[in-house]
A and B are shown apart, each in its own frame.
Chain A
Amino acid sequence: MPTIKLVNVTKKYGNITAIKNLSLTIEDGEYLCILGPTGSGKTTLLKLVAGIVKPDKGEIYIDDKLVNNMPAYERNVAYLPQYYALFPHLTVLENVAFGPLSKGLSVEEARRISMQMLEMTRLAWRANSFPHELSGGMQQRLALARALASGAKILLLDEPLGALDARLRVELRYKLRKLAKENNLTTIHVTHDQEEAMIVADRIVVLRNGEIQQVGSPLEVYNDPKNIFVAHFIGGANFFEGFVADVDRYGSWIQLRNNFLLRINDPNRSVGERVIVMVREEKSKILKAKKKREEINVFPGTIVNTSFLGDFISYTISLDNGDKANSKVPLAKAIGKFKVGERVYLYIEPEDVKVYPYPPHGLYKEIEVI
């Protein structure tokens, strides 16, 4: 069970900096997810650990040993690239046994290990099939079995579920984590799917433009996002622009567009400060116009859209001050309750609000992922 350590690592491709002065420690046996939009440097980070690309600056350690100049095949890592290639002319079993055999293991030993990996990925019954006879999900599991058969204790996965149907992804992610944990592997899993990351990871690293935005448990990055980008990228969030109108011992008042006043529990702001406030969509509550009971943080508006998400219904409310907000309501509480065009109130509890300083280039630039 090895630890992996990156210290001040920089990697450039021509004049593009893919990884910028990045430091990160991955604990023994940890399941770490690297999450970020396209072009954020996720795959480069994985390739640096695998030894496929070399850092321009900084050090990479595996088990406290500097590996900057160690070739990929000596690092004892199992790397599963996004576009893996199975050997089409070899059977499932032969595909898996290839690694152990080329390491000089006996045929029996290679067979034993390979069958064990196939049992684990539930492919043993297809040992004699050829890759093209398998479904996409099975091919993915085969690639995983082959990577694991090398006996490496470090597993590097680049979008391991990316090529699969949404329904299958959901099934396999639970299995992936279980597999890694049962085999005491240290895993780095790259994904752009935030829900996937939250489910499988012990910790998540959010990457943007080659820089770490935040590292933390799924609950930490969701509940306490360090900046606007993280808040936007992980989970649904409403953002409002405003400035601090007043501060007292217990909190502050934020003046939103057109004099809407929002109470927050943070007393450490300064009057006049320009801010962005963030509220999760499921914490943005929707109240029937008749049932307005709360005194503060109740904002009138009209429902302009509903969208069904399965276990939630999302309502878009056009607030009377010109802002828009989404409110996610659990399905059982929402069925038949609100309709488009209905006058409602948006209610936000002071404790559910996060405040960020207004970014120098504006809100839009900060949350741009497209």
Chain B
Amino acid sequence: MVALNNVSLEINDKEYLCIIGPSGCGKTTLIKCIAGIVDPDEGEIYVDNKLVNNLPIEDRNTGYVFQEIALFPHMNVYDNLCYGPFVKGYKISSVRSLIEEMLHMMELYERVKNYPDELSGGARQKVAVARALVSGSQLLLLDEPLGALDTKVRSLLRYELRRLVKDLGLTAIHVTHDQEEAMSIADRIAVMRSGRIIEVGTPLDLYLNPKNLFTAYFVGEANFLEGEVIGEGDDYTKIDVNGYVLYSARKVNFDSKRVVVAIRPEFIEMSKKTIHREALKGVIENKSFLGSSFRFEVSVENSFVVSVKTQFSTKALKFDVGERVSIFLPPKFLLLYPYPEEGLEKAISIE
């Protein structure tokens, strides 16, 4: 089995990089190679322009936080934090101020005397991160560091994690399967699939202009429609989708006439009145409430179904299942991809 297939990636000093991808895509293997837990079969790994392929784990100066929280159960919080500096032969007095600072930053001060089994999952996770940070490593490797936690706790802790890394001027590589987590805290995201990095970019870039069909699918929600290019102008492309005409502000830069059109649900405009000359008619088939927004499934002219997201408002409340609506797909948000050889379903499959 090939876990990593000819991967090249450069991570900048003090960067917060997230690696995302479905289970089994090779993300954990990748950071294990950087940590020195796994040796690459081919290729080189450099840290600060220094080849580290043959450097043992303990000399790589990396802090590693595992998916499963591993604290020393017989040591209290303070002793857990002292352990790293201690085995490295530092005098505890020399790192005391760093440890104190860390306890303060993590709001763990009242917990120093507690043992791991007396802490909640969130607090244990904070201790694990703090322990990696006080090791003095400039490079922090995080493998699903928030994976064992409740959604609400995850969404609160992720910001603290980024803040700490930035405050301490560290470089962090953070593996996660949670794309929202990655988007909200990463400087850049690397998307992996089947052992390869298929795209690297800032969160906004990957979301607005994904170069790859899989990225469009995996990062955020998207509607995918199959179509055919039937015309091109100076600043638009005309596409036929099941007999209905859509316009994209993007130019086709590939040969295939057969295309996949993608659009994010929140960019689709929906109204009870006809909103645009090029608007399509549809019927609301499903409505669900997401908190800050509503998500609708709209069957367009009995031909295809698109999901539409609208911000939570009195207007959105008034759309009901069964209702006829007019929807408009703004050309500037319509992404175009050549139809994949393996078929659309295979191209975006995560299983």
Residues on A facing B (Cβ under 8 Å): 37-39, 135-138, 165-168, 170, 174, 192-195, 198-199, 218-219, 222, 232-236, 280-282, 305, 307-312, 314, 328, 330-332, 335, 369-370
Contact = CB atoms under 8 A, between A and B. Distances in A.
B292 interface: yes
B22 interface: yes
Contacts of A235: 291-292
A37 B155 CA distance: 13
B122 A370 contact: yes
Contacts of A135: 23-24, 351
A310 B264 CA distance: 10
9 contacts: A135-B24, A198-B290, A199-B295, A218-B289, A307-B159, A330-B311, A332-B333, A369-B153, A370-B156
B147 to A, nearest CB: 10
B185 interface: yes
Interface stretch (B36-44, B71-79, B173-181, B235-243): B173-181
A310 B183 contact: yes
Contact of B120 (A38, A282, A311, A335): A38
B169 interface: no
Contact of A311 (B218, B264, B350): B264
A367 to B, nearest CB: 10
Contacts of B333: 332
Given A165-B22, A219-B289, A332-B267, A308 B120 contact: no
Chain B, interface residues (CB within 8 Å), range: 35 or more
Contacts of A330: 266, 311
B292 A282 contact: yes
B291 A198 contact: yes
Contacts of B178: 166
B152 interface: yes
B100 to A, nearest CB: 21
Contacts of B157: 370
Interface in B216-233: 217-221
Interface string B160-199: 0000000000000000011110011100000000000000
A332 B266 contact: yes
Contacts of B347: none
A311 B178 CA distance: 15
Tell which of B123, B203, B267, B311 has the most Cβ of chain A within 10 Å: B311
B292 to A, nearest CB: 4
B150 interface: yes
B23 to A, nearest CB: 5
Interface of B: 22-24, 120-123, 126, 150-153, 156-157, 159, 177-180, 183-185, 203-204, 207-208, 217-221, 264-267, 288-293, 295, 309, 311-312, 333, 350-351
Given A308-B203, A310-B207, 11 more contacts: A135-B23, A165-B177, A166-B180, A167-B177, A199-B290, A281-B292, A308-B184, A310-B183, A311-B266, A370-B126, A370-B153
B293 A311 contact: yes
B160 to A, nearest CB: 10
Closest 3 pairs between A and B when the two form their complex, measured CB to CB:
A370-B122, A311-B266, A282-B292
Contacts of A314: 184
A280 B217 CA distance: 29
A192 B185 CA distance: 22
A219 B293 CA distance: 11
B311 A282 contact: yes
A170 B220 CA distance: 10
A198 B288 contact: yes
A167 B22 contact: yes
A171 B156 CA distance: 24
The CB with the most chain B CB atoms within 10 A, among A136, A166, A222, A331, is that of A166
Contacts of B219: 310
B177 A170 contact: no
Given A308-B207, A332-B266, A370-B157, A136 B289 contact: no
A309 B177 contact: no
B128 to A, nearest CB: 14
Contacts of A233: 152
B266 A331 contact: yes
B151 A193 contact: yes
A137 B156 CA distance: 27
B291 A222 contact: yes
Contact of A198 (B184, B221, B289): B289
Contacts of B177: 165-167
B351 to A, nearest CB: 4
Given A307-B185, A370-B122, A136 B292 contact: no
Contact of B351 (A137, A307, A312): A137
Contact of A309 (B183, B208, B309): B183
A218 B290 CA distance: 9
Contacts of A281: 292
Contacts of A332: 266-267, 333
Contacts of B220: 310-311
